[in-house]
Amino acid sequence: MLKFLSLRLTTSLIALAGVMVIVFFLARLTGSPATLYLPADASVEMMEAFNRQFGYDQPIPQQFAQFVGNVFRLDFGQSLYQQRPAAVAVLSAMPQTILLAAVAMALTLLAAIPLGTVAALHPHSVQDRLITLFSLLTASIPDFWFALVGVLVLSVNLGLLPTSGQASLLSWILPVATLMLHPVGVLTQVVRGAMLETLNAGYVQNARARGYSWKRLAFRHALRNAALPIITVAGDRAGGMVNGAVIVSAVFAWPGIGQVLVDAVYNRDFAVIQAGVFVVGIAVILLNFLVDLIYAAADPRIRIS
């Protein structure tokens, strides 16, 4: 188990290093950021001063070495838009996003597990078809459009919910629903598939023959054995919630990593983009690590091997 975890951690870190290298060279592809940050009519002297100040007059290999050294010190440079270190700007936005994603993922599991189980208990029934229809529908709705229509109907027309901000509990409803939209359909289908398989397994049929109720069978016996694929996909989707967070911030002005990244894109703040890719990458690696630990808790066979 320990060997497996350390191997996973090493490969993930190599992957992250690869991404950072790609981001670095992409940034250099466009030439000096001076043309981005300085006004169009900036003089040659101003450009040279800018390049000297930020080290862009150095040869590329030297710049790369500098960049790698800085990454290890968590120094991604200054955010030109926020006037503070990029790493601080990104890290201070993480808690809100993690909280939002955690709430959304918890509610997603609370919805997907019963729905998927009901579908698996009555395969090809009306309930099953309706639940599959629900999954296909959630997979077909763009999340940004769902958020906008939610604002239009619930906030503008009916006046039930606030359009933005996070003052009251009500203002959480639409952002959480937007984040849940795609994961809930996928997870329902995963639960259904995994439960179908375990419900047909010999030990469940045996327990059924001994007179256990389906409810007890499904939630006591089958669910625990169906847990592994559910955990895998839930972990995967939790990482993907960064995508949703970007949309949520763009529609609801929700503070968090999404807001920081969207601002960085609009203000061409490359230091923050680099820091954001790094911090989110680390967060995803930690999440995968957590998923592996949950695996071990759910399945004793993994703990031993």
Report 217-246 residues binding another protein (CB under 8 A): 239-240, 242-243, 246
Stretch that binds another protein, among 79-87, 212-220, 277-285, 289-297 (CB under 8 A): 277-285
Total residues interacting with another protein, rule: CB under 8 A: 50
Give the Cα separation of 303 and 118 in Å (integer): 31
Smallest distance, Å, CB 14 to another protein? 7
Smallest distance, Å, CB 254 to another protein? 14
DSSP code of 85?
A: E
281 binds another protein (CB under 8 A): yes
Query: Which amino acid would we find at residue 87?
Result: A
Please name which of 23, 5, 3, 81 lies closest in space to residue 280, comparing C-alpha atoms.
23
- B/e letters for 114-128, b = 16+ CB within 10 Å, e = fewer, are ebbbbbbbeeeeeeb
Query: Given the complex with another protein, which of 133 and 297 has the nearer CB atom?
Result: 133
Chain CA centroid to CA 20, Å:
18
- DSSP string over 215-242: HHIIIIIIHHHTHHHHHHHHHHHHHHHH
* 3-state SS assignment for residue 78: strand
Provide the mask over 17-56, with x wherever binding to another protein is found by CB under 8 A and - wherever it is not: -xx--xx--xx-xx--------------------------
Among 110, 156, 170, 253, binds another protein (CB under 8 A): 156
Instruction: Show Cβ contacts of residue 65 under 8 Å, excluding neighbours closer than 6 positions.
Output: none
261 binds another protein (CB under 8 A): yes
Chain CA centroid to CA 168, Å:
24
Please name which of 275, 115, 93, 256 lies closest in space to residue 187, comparing C-alpha atoms.
115
Q: Which residues pair with 79 in a beta bridge?
A: 84
Smallest distance, Å, CB 142 to another protein? 5
Query: Given the complex with another protein, which of 124 and 210 has the nearer CB atom?
Result: 124
Can you read off the two tokens belonging to residue 234?
């839930």
149 binds another protein (CB under 8 A): yes
Query: Given the complex with another protein, which of 112 and 221 has the nearer CB atom?
Result: 112
Stretch that binds another protein, among 14-22, 42-50, 81-89, 216-224 (CB under 8 A): 14-22
SS3 content of the chain, % helix, strand, coil (to 5): 80, 0, 20
Summarize as ranges the residues that interact with another protein (CB under 8 A): 11-12, 14-16, 18-19, 22-23, 26-27, 29-30, 124, 132, 136-137, 139-145, 148-149, 151-152, 156, 239-240, 242-243, 246-247, 250, 261-262, 264-266, 268, 270, 273, 276-277, 280-281, 284-285
